[in-house]
Chains A and B, each alone.
Chain A
Amino acid sequence: MRNSLYKKSIISINDLKRNELELVLNKSAVLKKKSQPNLLTNKIIASCFFEASTRTRLSFETAIYRLGASIVGFSDGNNISLKKKGETLSDTIAVISSYVDAIIIRHPQEGSARLAVEFSNNVPVFNAGDGANQHPTQTLLDLFTIQETQNRLTNLNIAMVGDLKYGRTVHSLTQALAKFKNNKFFFISPDTLIMPNYINDMLDKKNIYWKRYKNIEEVISEIDILYMTRIQKERLDSTEYTNEKSKFVLHTTTLKNARNNLKILHPLPRIDEIDRDVDYTPYAWYFKQAANGIYARQAILSLVLIKQHL
């Protein structure tokens, strides 16, 4: 397959075509089977975390080390001299891009990764989360995990539960899965936290099935993937939170009628939306999902930085 990702910046999952997603997933599988520590020797990658995000950073940095590349960077934008001296994001990126082969950026403002690309002088930029907007490598690892557990990315019934309004992972994952045929979406959330219109409109335009449901029990016997997310307390008023919460919490009893192939995913951190007992069922897959982040990130880094792949 031609590597159309070579030298491309990875900013939004929407920028990737279906065959490019497949390319990343195939590469992730190869790297999971066989580590290739020499793929990126001699490459230097900047890890620029303008806001702290320890797990994402460690996952990216582990991926980089596993490919044999080196890292420069910072892990908390508040403590860097750039910020104290008042330098703009664009100037910072322009300077760093002259040092390195790729830039990973995490920044609290939406659109910051897209802005970084404009000033990076063709050095590829990887978005590791820009505010509430995009976090494409999270979606890649979600897709990889779904494919790995179901052996396909088509003809799937996917339930998404929790904060569907602000949860960027469910938005991106829906957008990505909508590129594959015959997937159905089951949305389960409090009334105040439903999927935004632009996602529903996109599904309608493509004639893709989606429907809102009130609780997990209603759909559990039909679904292949149960994607749980956290509801932040401050998103609901306190009575609503106490009343509604139970419908969106997963217990082992909820799983009584589950399909054998069901896998439960969660972008983590989990608070109390998945009961600890669920961890011991064969359906729980969230920790393996997090582990897959290393392979998905190795895959995307190596595809962007090396033209030819065997």
Chain B
Amino acid sequence: MDLDWDEFIVTGEPFILAGQIAILLTTIGIIFVLTYFKKWKWIWNEWITSVDHRKIGIMYIIASVLMMIRAGVDALMMRTQLAAPNMPFLGEAQHYNEIFTTHGTIMIIFVATPFLIGLMNVATPLQIGARDVAFPFLNNLSFWTFFWGAMLFNISFVIGGAPSAGWSAYMPLASNDLSPGPGQNFYLLGLQISGIGTLATGINLVVTIMKMRAKGMRLMRMPMFTWTTLITSLIIIGAFPILTVALGMQTFDRLWDTSFFTLQDGGMPMMWVNLFWLWGHPEVYIVILPAFGIFSEIIATFARKRLFGYTSMVFAIAAISGLSFLVWVHHFFTMGAGPMVNSFFSISTMAIAVPTGVKIFNWLATLHRGRIRFSVPMVWALGFIPNFTIGGVTGVMLAMAAADYQYHNTYFLVSHFHYVLIAGTIFACFAGTIYWWPKMFGLKLNERLGHWVFWIFMIGFNVCFFPQYFLGLDGMPRRIYTYFPEDGWFSLNFISTVGAFMMGLAFVIFVYNIYYSYRYQPRETTGDPWGGRGRTLEWATSSAVPPHYNFAKIPEVKDQDAYWQMKQEGIDPNDIEEYHDIHMPNYTGNPFIMSVFMFVGGFGLVFHWWSIAIIGAIGIFACMIQRSFSRDNGHIVPAEEVREEEAKIREVKANESGQ
């Protein structure tokens, strides 16, 4: 691709200029801080090369929150543009197209998915009584491929130009003819690289859960979040390779003139739509099932009751995961599939409401006669139930193929999926992060600020999206960048924009809460911080100074709520007579370097710069060979060291309770 220098760097848009300045300042800021405080070595040795599942989980969460800020700013720009008719805010339609494309893509691929994977990384090994995941090296590689894939996607708006064909990238809209320039290539390669990491995580977690459970933890004794992690990982294994192939074919169409999805030479644009949603629909459940798991844990903990209908919950998740692969055509009922096909997919879609309903009733039954404590994670979980149900009911409305001809591509749909994705996934991200925060950082986030965040966000969310149902029924199409006063959509749009800014405000308070809590909250030393209500094994470990091996001695599980049962019987899992050596993996820089080469190779392909692409490929293979020949067998933590570490924790605990 021949590009002039001034085409290479995107110019001419004030917001993009602001973005460029922000990127430059942030980069300089990070370099300055790391150099000034002499932290380069620390960040490499302690974080970048880390194979510790909790550190990787934390890095996942930090990266997702940063991506959420970017995609959230996109959302606010869109809502500002739509606040009133004929708004001149964003200038032209192309700019708006780029913003909604990156908003959607980033929120699904680089926020929801990695945020939940981060929480899985933090909590799952602890919940099953394991010391780490099955493949710690691969875990680090997963994170860095996700990170560098996300970076490749993100630099598109300052270098070369952002994709503008929507997050679903329908062909032929995404072809060279209709989406010229490198923007769509950034989308394809950014997603491809981060997809490697997601698939690797799926495999890693399946092996971890199937092989590394503590003694006595049968499958039907696993905590609900572990169950959802397992099934989500299986969906990832079944769905992500489809995306890999689809993205690959579109890349070939754009880079090497193949005709998979073209309009000439026998290509078939509908095949892209089918393949995209064959992955895309299960992806919806990849980001909702772990959320269900988080809410199940939280509701049982704060209602101080065993989760109601545990077995039916497990079967419900399994049923949902199976059905998730059978409904993809409901994303394009209006594209001429015929009544028989539409009926099949209409019915299979509605069938998903059945197991989901089972889950809703189980949560309500768990709450029934529970001793409920309205802590911040719990209010998020309680807020989830009605809001998600609104999203679910409108989902059933959309599932009726005939009626869908009315709602299709209107704000009704936009509102529906924001109701399920925000009230499901994003509420769960907030809830899970706050719930497991003590396990990650050894302190609780401030409760008062947490309640403020919840209420402002919850009200803002409904103010933003509820009017959109009516806008949709009024016929306002999605993805339009402006409208006229005579359309009559002004007032509802304006209300919606107000709600969006309320959510933005809540997010800012949440970030402030992190800072505030770091400064002023007391350290947490008990390990079981939610009023001693912890039920599952993660609360059996210490959380003040989390030792890197999780459990000095792997506990024995006798019940579905293993730690609760131990507390009832007065067993202290940390009361250990004999300590053993613990074998742990070493940190490694290889995955980071390999992912950087993937970024380099991807960047070369985006601009058709073959020499750079080849450098990237050689680098990747060199890293793989290095890994294959490496004789790194980890290290042993001697029993004596384990004893000392545990004694230290015991001392802190004793001091705290003595005061």
Whether A associates with B in a native complex is: no
Binding site for A on B (CB under 8 A): none
**Chain A residues with a Cβ under 8 A of chain B:** none
